[in-house]
Chains A and B, each alone.
Chain A
Amino acid sequence: MTARVGVVTFPGSLDDRDAVRAVRIAGAEPVPLWHADADLKGVDAVVLPGGFSYGDYLRCGAIARFAPVMGELVPAARSGALPVLGICNGFQVLCESHLLPGALTRNRSLHFINREQRLRVESAGTAWTGRYTAGEEITVVLKSGEGRYTADAATLDELERSGRVVVRYTGGAPNGSDRDIAGIANEHGNVVGLMPHPEHAVEALTGPSEDGLGFFTSVLAHLAGTVPAGADRSG
C-alpha cells in the first residue's frame, strides 16, 4: 500500500507545494493538511513545511505551535509513533512545540541567507535519513533569516552524545549555528527538524541536486519497516 504523507499548510506557509511534490516524486501519496483542521486524516507521516507561518509574528513558529492540527500531531510525534519532518519554519515550529530541544534565532550576520549549502549527514539512524550513509555530503538550498540553532551546552552535549545531530553545515555554519548544527532528531528518531530545504533538491530541473530526495524515500523505507528509527543512530 502506498504510504500517505501529510503536508500541513499554515497561513503563510511557502514551501508546502514543493513538499507535496517531493513526497510524490519519492513515491508516496501526499495528503494536504490544513492548520485549522484538528485532523491528521490518518496519514502515516507528516511534513511541516517552510515559510512564514502566521507571518512569523511574535516568534517564528510560536503561533503555529497552537494550531488545531498540532493537537493530534504533538502527542503522536512525542510518543515516537508518528514520523514528522520539520523544514525551516517547520523546524522552528518543532522547537517551539518542545518536540525538539533548543531554538532558532536571528542569523549572526542579520542577513537573510539564500544559497546552495553543503551538509554532512551525521546520522542515518532516523526515520528520515535511513537512506543516507553517515558522513555522506549533500547539497541542498538554505534560505532563512532566523536559522541560527542554539541550545545550552548540556543540551548540545546530549545531542552529540546520543547521535541526535542529524545534519551539520560543512565549512562552518553561515548563520552561526552552535556546533554547525543544521538539523537534529528527538530521542526516538521519528521527529527530525532541519533548517535547509531538502524538498527543493529533488529533481535536476529545479534544484541544485537531487540530494534532498533521500529524506522522503527514507521515511517510506521506514514506514515499510526496512529501516527502523533508532536502530542504529550512529550510522
Chain B
Amino acid sequence: MARVIVDVMLKPEILDPQGQAIVGACGRLGFSGIEQVRQGKRFEVEIDGEADGARLEEVRRLAETLLANPVIEDFELRVAD
C-alpha cells in the first residue's frame, strides 16, 4: 500500500478571504511579520500496491476530475515517504 498526497490550492489570482481572515487573526494574536496566508486542502489517498507511473496517473486524473476544480484551483501530487 502506498500513500499519495494531493495538495490543492486556490490559484494565485483567486481571492482567498479565508486566508485574509487568518492574517487578521495573526496580528491580533501577536504573530508579527505574517504578510500573507493562503488556505488550501490536503488529501491523503491510499492506493493498492506501489505508487508506480500508472497508479500515479490514475490519482492525477482523480485530482483533476474531483479533488480540485481546475477553473479556480491548482494541485500537486507527491508520494508520501
Contact = CB atoms under 8 A, between A and B. Distances in A.
Give the size range of A's interface with the partner: 20 to 34
B66 A102 contact: no
Contacts of A207: none
- For chain B, the bracket of interface size reads 10 to 19
Nearest to B20: A110
B62 to A, nearest CB: 12
A108 B69 contact: no
B74 to A, nearest CB: 13
B2 interface: no
Given A110-B21, A150-B72, A105 B67 contact: no
Contacts of B72: 103, 105, 150
A96 B15 contact: no
A176 B14 CA distance: 12
A109 B17 contact: yes
Contacts of A103: 69, 71-72
B14 A107 contact: no
**6 closest Cβ pairs, A-B complex:** A103-B72, A103-B71, A110-B17, A106-B17, A108-B17, A110-B21
